[in-house]
Structures are given as structure tokens and as C-alpha cells.
Amino acid sequence: MQNSLSAYTKKYDDLNYGLSFADGHIVRFYERILKYKLDFKAGNMLDFGCGNGVHSAFFKSKGYQCFGVDIVPSLKQAYEKLVGGGGCKIIQPNASLVGLFEEKMNLILANQSLYYLPKNTLVQNMDEFYEMSEKGAVFFATMMSEKNYYFKHAGKEDSQGLRKVVLEGRLNETSYIHFVKNATDLKELFKPFKCLYLGEYDPIYFYEFEGSAHHFIYVGVKE
């Protein structure tokens, strides 16, 4: 099965990849949706595809207890340096999440990570996220859209919904991405959770360089 492990191992281990500060759309999700709209109380958070843990560190600073999952072995140390000990698990790409954590989660965050999964793993992981969530848990995920410049470099969709994306130049990488056409498609993908809000972001782009970095946002709840 195709996966993006070697692309991310190179990015993290050789190219110093990873944010130093929380992304703007995560800060705004926290302030506008969790705090203002939902009056959500801090609890346990699962950060799926956690990277170096920058978003776990942000939620930790807001009182959450954070747990991370990723596929790149070196991220365990990076995460624990930034967020604290014990909370990060490294899995094989597309493995089951059952039994990884004893804790039930109140918030599941999957920022820019679920589009690396083939459809069968995505369906399985969604059921597992739902199962490991407390009633009332919030689920936040982003998916890359066909407006994103990655799509211009994508091949044909395979039977698992993934397209091979070969980028040359600045990123110089090969990854496998599940693109979505519109925000309403997210309701179908993430349907164990009831949809509360749909959104999108496109942080910055230069018209003549690379192009849009557009993603859709989904916020749901376990009823």
C-alpha cells in the first residue's frame, strides 16, 4: 500500500521540517469555535499525524492533556521535547489505533494528516476515533482540496482514493494524497461524527509561484 513515510522521514530528519508556532487556523478554531461557540472545557486531546507536536503544545498551554500519533520514528523525541513525556506513539503507516491509549479523548485533532490515508484505513480510523472519544467529544480535521497546487501535480486516483503527487523544486518530494472536491464531501468521510461546522483556509500564496494551499475544515461532535 502506498504511503508518505519516506517523504516525511526526509522532511523531518534532513530538512528541519515542522512549524515553530501554532497555525493561524488552529488558533482561530480554538478561539472562535471551541471557546466562543461551544464553551468547550479542556480535556484529553488526540493529535493524529502530530508532527513535532506544535499543536499539542498549543493545546497543552490551554490546559489540555495531549497525546500524539505519527509514523516518523524521530518524532517521538521531538514531540516529547516540546509537549512532555509519554504522550507520543509511533505507528506503522495505516495501522489500527486500537489499544494505543487507555484514555478516552475529548478532542481529536487531525490537522493536515488524514489525506495521506487510503480509503479503507480512513474508514477504519474514523470508527476508531469515534470509539476512543467521550460523548460530546469534538473532532477537527482538514483535507486538501482540488484547488491546492498539489493537485496540479497529481496523477490518476487509485482504487483507494489516493493520487501520487510528485513535486519538484522547493519541496522535491513524492507523496500520496486523497483530495476532496468540496466541503460537503467531508460530511460523508467523517460521518460517525455529527457535522457542526465546515470551513476552509488558504494561508498564503504567490500567484506566479506554486499556487494555492487550499484546505477544507471539518468540525464534528460525538452525540
Ligand X SMILES: C[S@@+](CC[C@H](N)C(=O)[O-])C[C@H]1O[C@@H](n2cnc3c(N)ncnc32)[C@H](O)[C@@H]1O
Chain positions contacting ligand X, by CB under 6 A = 3-4, 8, 19, 49-51, 54-55, 70-72, 93-94, 111-113, 116-117
Nearest CA to 34 among 222, 192, 219? 219
Q: Are 7 and 14 in contact (CB under 8 A)?
A: no
Report in angstroms how near the CB of residue 223 gets to ligand X at its nearest. 26
Report in angstroms how near the CB of residue 95 gets to ligand X at its nearest. 8
Report the relative pairing of strands 194-201 and 133-144 from DSSP bridges.
Answer: unpaired
Report in angstroms how near the CB of residue 82 gets to ligand X at its nearest. 11
- Residue 87 or 93: which CB sits closer to ligand X? 93
CA-based angle 108:159:191, to the nearest 5?
Answer: 30
- Residue 51 or 220: which CB sits closer to ligand X? 51
Q: Is 31 left (phi over 0), alpha (psi -120 to 50) or beta?
A: alpha
Q: Which three three-digit cell numbers place residue 32?
A: 472562535
Report in angstroms how near the CB of residue 118 gets to ligand X at its nearest. 9
- Residue 60 or 194: which CB sits closer to ligand X? 60
CA–chain centroid gap for 52, Å, is 12
Report in angstroms how near the CB of residue 50 gets to ligand X at its nearest. 6
- Residue 58 or 193: which CB sits closer to ligand X? 58
- Residue 117 or 189: which CB sits closer to ligand X? 117
CA–chain centroid gap for 61, Å, is 19
Q: Which uninterrupted H or E stretch holds 4?
A: none
Rounded Cα distance between 189 and 150, Å, is 20
Q: Are 94 and 126 in contact (CB under 8 A)?
A: no
- Residue 199 or 208: which CB sits closer to ligand X? 199
Report in angstroms how near the CB of residue 175 gets to ligand X at its nearest. 8
